[in-house]
């Protein structure tokens, strides 16, 4: 059976959902085809909104990340108003303690004034008050609910196997038959190579969380160390990440991965050793060789790309949604996306 829609978004993670919500909010009907919502990197992330802590050098990428960070409060406010749900956005700032002295950094006493009980080896660091965090799992639920509220069609359990194309995509072959549309948007993250020869590959990240009594929250901001990051939620959960492994789609947490995360976190913030271990998990970042996303037009006139967000998918969701929706609606290239065009790899 062949199904026909106006716009098909392939991929139902944070990027696919955010683009769908932006387009539908502007009155355009969209359908999402999602294989398995639970596999998206969205769930695995820590939810840091951290262009400065991630030390992205001055570049179009930094501009894009800063623009997206600036969109966050309003974007979240609208989603929460639409759904009546809380996405756990917290403008908490990010502290970046360091083990070696480097240029322009605050000394140990100043860093300890932001966060007491840091490890003995911390010599100083940086404070980024404008970096923030969102509870990415809560945000995923909010986006899903916002999509429902807006009447966006989401087809789950569908694996798209193949694009059929001439100069345009003419149809998709999937586990649930043939799908056709006027326009297609690819947002399949680490799995993008299954459909197109673009260099997006999985970079596995293992994570874990510990928990502390909610009445006694000792961490009031994210700690972004040299070997690990520690992301406290307001409900007492503390997320610790993340490994960065080139092991393909190898599933599972490893003992060494968990060991490395815990020792790095305890070195950075020793009180972690007393908190209750709660959960371990992992996910696959959609990486590219230059660590930049692939955004905008594609080799096919009716296919737009929104993939390869690597470490910054949560951060870049609002600007990706806005820019990609604009590209689709105006059928014009966005000059701000020039640096992220797929053709840089050809």
Q: What spatial distance separates the first Cα and last Cα of the chain, rounded to whole Å?
A: 36
What SS3 state is found at 186? strand
Nearer to ligand GLY, 205 or 236 (CB): 205
Residues in the chain, overall count:
346
Q: How far is the CB of 208 from ligand GLY (least distance, A)?
A: 13
Judged by CB under 6 A, does residue 261 bind ligand GLY? Answer: no
Count of positions on this chain that bind ligand GLY (CB under 6 A) = 7
Interatomic CA distance for residues 266 and 262, integer angstroms: 6
Q: How far is the CB of 311 from ligand GLY (least distance, A)?
A: 3
**Cβ distance 6 to 28 under 8 Å?**
yes
Q: Which helix (H) or strand (E) holds 163?
A: strand 160-165
Q: How far is the CB of 327 from ligand GLY (least distance, A)?
A: 25
**Taking the CA atoms of the chain, what radius of gyration do you get in angstroms?**
20
Nearer to ligand GLY, 56 or 272 (CB): 56
Nearer to ligand GLY, 224 or 300 (CB): 224
Contact residue for ligand GLY among 143, 242, 317, 337 (CB under 6 A): 242
Q: What secondary structure, in 3-state letters, does 222-264 show?
A: EEECCCCEEEECCCCEEEEECCCECCCCCCCCCHHHHHHHHHH
Judged by CB under 6 A, does residue 241 bind ligand GLY? Answer: yes
What SS3 state is found at 34? strand
Nearer to ligand GLY, 97 or 300 (CB): 97
Q: Which of 271, 247, 272 is nearest to 261 (CA)?
A: 272
Q: How far is the CB of 241 from ligand GLY (least distance, A)?
A: 5
Judged by CB under 6 A, does residue 311 bind ligand GLY? Answer: yes
Nearest to ligand GLY by Cβ — which residue? Answer: 311
Judged by CB under 6 A, does residue 48 bind ligand GLY? Answer: yes
Contact residue for ligand GLY among 285, 293, 318, 324 (CB under 6 A): 285
Nearer to ligand GLY, 42 or 83 (CB): 42
Interatomic CA distance for residues 140 and 155, integer angstroms: 16
Judged by CB under 6 A, does residue 293 bind ligand GLY? Answer: no
Q: How far is the CB of 131 from ligand GLY (least distance, A)?
A: 11
- Could you please report the per-residue DSSP string of 275-328? SEEEEEEEEEEEE-TTS--EEEE-SSTTEEEEE--GGGHHHHHHHHHHHHHHHH
Q: How far is CA 300 from CA 115, 170, 303, 311, 346, in A?
A: 51, 10, 5, 27, 14
Q: How far is CA 265 from CA 79, 112, 216, in A?
A: 33, 16, 19
Q: Which of 309, 302, 287, 292 is nearest to 343 (CA)?
A: 292
Nearer to ligand GLY, 19 or 239 (CB): 239
Q: How far is the CB of 283 from ligand GLY (least distance, A)?
A: 9
Q: How far is the CB of 42 from ligand GLY (least distance, A)?
A: 12
Binding residues among 149-208 for ligand GLY as defined by CB under 6 A: 205
Q: How far is the CB of 279 from ligand GLY (least distance, A)?
A: 16
Nearer to ligand GLY, 24 or 285 (CB): 285
Q: How far is the CB of 46 from ligand GLY (least distance, A)?
A: 6
Nearer to ligand GLY, 267 or 285 (CB): 285
Judged by CB under 6 A, does residue 24 bind ligand GLY? Answer: no
Nearer to ligand GLY, 137 or 311 (CB): 311
Q: Which of 5, 40, 346, 2 is nearest to 192 (CA)?
A: 40
Footprint of ligand GLY on this chain (CB under 6 A)?
Answer: 46, 48, 205, 241-242, 285, 311
């Amino acid at each position: 059976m062949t199904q026909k829609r106006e716009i098909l978004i392939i991929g139902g993670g944070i990027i696919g959902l955010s683009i769908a919500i932006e387009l539908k909010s502007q009155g355009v009907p969209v359908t999402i085809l999602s294989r398995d919502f639970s596999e998206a990197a969205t769930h695995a992330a820590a939810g840091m909104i951290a262009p400065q802590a991630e030390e992205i050098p001055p570049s179009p990428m930094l501009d894009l990340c800063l623009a997206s960070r600036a969109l966050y409060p309003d974007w979240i406010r609208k989603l929460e108003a639409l759904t009546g749900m809380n996405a756990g956005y917290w403008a908490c700032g990010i502290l970046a303690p360091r083990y070696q002295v480097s240029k322009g950094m605050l000394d140990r006493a100043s860093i300890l004034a932001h966060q007491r009980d840091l490890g003995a080896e911390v010599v100083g660091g940086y404070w980024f008050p404008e970096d923030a965090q969102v509870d990415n799992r809560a945000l995923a639920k909010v986006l899903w609910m916002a999509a429902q509220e807006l009447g966006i069609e989401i087809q789950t359990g569908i694996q798209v196997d193949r694009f059929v194309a001439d100069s345009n995509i003419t149809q998709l072959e999937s586990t649930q038959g043939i799908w056709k549309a006027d326009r297609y948007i690819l947002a399949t993250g680490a799995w993008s190579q299954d459909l197109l020869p673009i260099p997006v590959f999985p970079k596995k990240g293992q994570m874990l969380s510990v928990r502390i009594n909610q009445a006694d929250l000792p961490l009031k901001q994210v700690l972004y160390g040299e070997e690990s990051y520690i992301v406290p939620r307001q409900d007492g959960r503390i997320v610790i990440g993340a490994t960065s492994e080139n092991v393909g789609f190898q599933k599972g947490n490893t003992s060494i991965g968990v060991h490395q995360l815990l020792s790095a976190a305890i070195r950075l913030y020793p009180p972690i050793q007393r908190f209750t271990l709660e959960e371990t998990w992992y996910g696959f970042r959609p990486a590219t060789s230059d660590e930049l996303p692939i955004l905008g037009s594609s080799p096919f006139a009716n296919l737009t790309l929104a993939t390869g967000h690597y470490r910054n998918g949560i951060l870049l969701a609002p600007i990706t949604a806005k820019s990609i929706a604009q590209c689709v609606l105006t059928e014009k290239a966005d000059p701000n996306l020039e640096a992220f065009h797929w053709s840089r790899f050809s």
